[in-house]
Amino acid sequence: MEKKNLYIQTFGCQMNVQDAQKMAVLLEASGYGTTDDPAQADLILVNTCSIREKAAQKIYSQLGRFRELKERNPHLLIGVCGCLAQQWGDRFFRRVPFLDMVVGTHQIHRLPEMIGELERAGGRIAETGFCDRVGSLEIPAQPAAGAVSAFVTIMQGCNNFCAYCVVPHLRGREQSRPLPEILREIEALAAQGIHEVTLLGQNVNSYGRALAEETDFTRLLGAIGKLPGIGRIRFTTSHPKDLSPQLIACFGEIASLCEHIHLPVQSGSDRVLKRMNRGYTAEAYRAKVAELRRVCPQISITSDVIVGFPGEEEEDFRQTLELMREVRFDNLFSFRYSEREGTAAVGMERPVGEGVKRERLSVLQALQAEHTLEKNRDCIGRQEAVLVEGANPNGSEEMTGRTRGNRIVHFPGRSGLIGKTVSVRIVEAFPHSLRGEAEQRGGADVH
């Protein structure tokens, strides 16, 4: 079979990165090998994201750059996949006339068939239907050669319908993978040398709800915790309303479960949380944080906040800052609210002006920067187990890895440490990372 080149550009979340790896695995069987150079490609796939307005704008401008390649090579096929493809469907052809293919979020497994059809008969194809069972969920992603960590999709879709969010509209309802299938994938990853897995899903806490077998997320964690070779388990993302006492208890019971949770709060005001349809109060959130810290005092807690949701008053915003001061998140991802087509928040009364949103975001980010630095400084003097991921990308003669609490650590070391867990004493703290010194035991590195 003649070898052809595939170039994939991915925007947005880790779920999209996973999907891109699955596309590469799928298309390998159709004779496509990946290339880093779009100019060499026979097929370009743009894996899109529509969570933020900015991402969508970037995607259109990137597609504009590929127009010239298509003019030079009329045999080049260009397709869009992911959330924006799902949202726009065949309307994408009007906006980007040189496009050949629009592939919805439930249609990835049909890529080889669609490309075969385009190669044979030409024309254009848009497939955006939802399926009862997402075919691509079953395809194991292929981590990069030499990687020490891998992401494993355990479920996709969401039933929650937060008022601002497009995910249930574009990824469909929750679907979970059967537990034995996930375990087989992780065993295979461990056999390839993967030491750390991050379990992925829009709301991993509700894993297993729609499966025929009786299972849940805590059982999955327990089963992975027993697999040899997997020293670290992480997961993302969790919904606070579904964070059960049993799941919190796992942080005290499963040795390989890392001491970090990403628990998006979105607002510290009950009024705003209600309008967002989040299903919990600020008090309930605080109680879950307190319980997490009781079970696992060293746990890192990170979160997401949206500022300027319609109807957010100064008092609501003040309550968000108050919650941040109480919880002191280790890190926080914060965003200005922007409207998403098809969501319940579209057209809600009392929209917040862009200037006010910008101002609130900068106040909030300044506060979080203080907290993050304080939390990083608290690490000075501690001995941390660091899983070494590679050389420090800034080019110095240092290695880079992560603590179990998900902090980035740089330390002097050699490349032979990649993939090993090294005991590092933290000596310096920065806004986004730590610096340390590796502990030597009898001249040997700690594994």
Q: Which of 15, 167, 257, 263 binds ligand SF4 (CB under 6 A)?
A: 167
Q: Does 158 bind ligand SF4 (CB under 6 A)?
A: yes
Beta carbon of residue 131, minimum distance to ligand SF4 (angstroms, whole number): 19
Beta carbon of residue 278, minimum distance to ligand SF4 (angstroms, whole number): 7
- Beta carbon nearer to ligand SF4, 60 or 335: 335
Beta carbon of residue 266, minimum distance to ligand SF4 (angstroms, whole number): 8
Q: Does 239 bind ligand SF4 (CB under 6 A)?
A: yes
Beta carbon of residue 51, minimum distance to ligand SF4 (angstroms, whole number): 9
Which single residue is written with the structure tokens 């590195």?
445
SS (H, E, C) the chain: CCCEEEEEEECCCHHHHHHHHHHHHHHHCCCEEECCCHHHCCEEEEEECCCCHHHHHHHHHHHHHHHHHHHHCCCCEEEEEHHHHHHHHHHHHHHCCCCCEEECCCCHHHHHHHHHHHHHHCCCEEECCCCCCCHHHHCCCCCCCCCCEEEEECEECCCCCCCCCCHHHHHCCCEECCHHHHHHHHHHHHHCCCCEEEEECCCHHHCCCCCCCCCCHHHHHHHHHCCCCCCEEEEECCCHHHCCHHHHHHHHHCCCECCEEECCCECCCHHHHHHHCCCCCHHHHHHHHHHHHHHCCCCEEEEEEEECCCCCCHHHHHHHHHHHHHHCCCEEEEEECCCCCCCCCCCCCCCCCHHHHHHHHHHHHHHHHHHHHHHHHHCCCCEEEEEEEEECCCCCCEEEEECCCCCEEEEECCHHHCCCEEEEEEEEECCCCEEEEECEECCEECC
**Contacts with ligand SF4: how many residues (CB under 6 A)?**
10
Using the contact rule CB under 6 A, the part of the chain among 139-147, 157-165, 193-201, 414-422 near ligand SF4 is: 157-165
- Beta carbon nearer to ligand SF4, 104 or 168: 168
Q: Which of 12, 38, 104, 168 binds ligand SF4 (CB under 6 A)?
A: 168
Q: Does 83 bind ligand SF4 (CB under 6 A)?
A: no
Q: Which of 203, 300, 302, 403 binds ligand SF4 (CB under 6 A)?
A: 203
**Contact of 202 with 242, CB cutoff 8 Å:** no
Q: Which of 55, 111, 147, 165 binds ligand SF4 (CB under 6 A)?
A: 165
Q: Does 303 bind ligand SF4 (CB under 6 A)?
A: no
Using the contact rule CB under 6 A, the part of the chain among 153-161, 248-256, 294-302, 415-423 near ligand SF4 is: 153-161
Q: Does 250 bind ligand SF4 (CB under 6 A)?
A: no
- Beta carbon nearer to ligand SF4, 167 or 296: 167
Q: Does 14 bind ligand SF4 (CB under 6 A)?
A: no
Q: Does 436 bind ligand SF4 (CB under 6 A)?
A: no
Using the contact rule CB under 6 A, the part of the chain among 63-71, 165-173, 246-254, 283-291 near ligand SF4 is: 165-173
Cβ atoms within 10 Å, residue 365: 14
Query: How many angstroms separate the CA atoms of 409 and 418, rounded?
Result: 13
Q: Does 161 bind ligand SF4 (CB under 6 A)?
A: yes
**Nearest 5°: CA angle at 162, between 156 and 167?**
35
Q: Beta strands 383-391 and 398-402: pairing type?
A: antiparallel
Using the contact rule CB under 6 A, the part of the chain among 6-14, 41-49, 102-110, 158-166 near ligand SF4 is: 158-166
Q: Does 202 bind ligand SF4 (CB under 6 A)?
A: yes
Beta carbon of residue 432, minimum distance to ligand SF4 (angstroms, whole number): 25
Query: How many angstroms separate the CA atoms of 53 and 36, rounded?
Result: 26
Segment 101-120, which members bind ligand SF4 (CB under 6 A)? none
Angle between helix 179-191 and helix 217-225 axes, rounded to 10 deg: 30
- Beta carbon nearer to ligand SF4, 87 or 256: 87
Beta carbon of residue 328, minimum distance to ligand SF4 (angstroms, whole number): 23
Q: What is the chain's length?
A: 447
Using the contact rule CB under 6 A, the part of the chain among 26-34, 74-82, 155-163, 287-295 near ligand SF4 is: 155-163
Q: Does 162 bind ligand SF4 (CB under 6 A)?
A: yes
Instruction: Note the maximum CA span of the chain.
Output: 67
Beta carbon of residue 289, minimum distance to ligand SF4 (angstroms, whole number): 18
Beta carbon of residue 172, minimum distance to ligand SF4 (angstroms, whole number): 11
Using the contact rule CB under 6 A, the part of the chain among 97-105, 164-172, 186-194, 366-374 near ligand SF4 is: 164-172
Q: Does 8 bind ligand SF4 (CB under 6 A)?
A: no
**Site residues (vs ligand SF4, CB under 6 A):** 158, 160-162, 165, 167-168, 202-203, 239
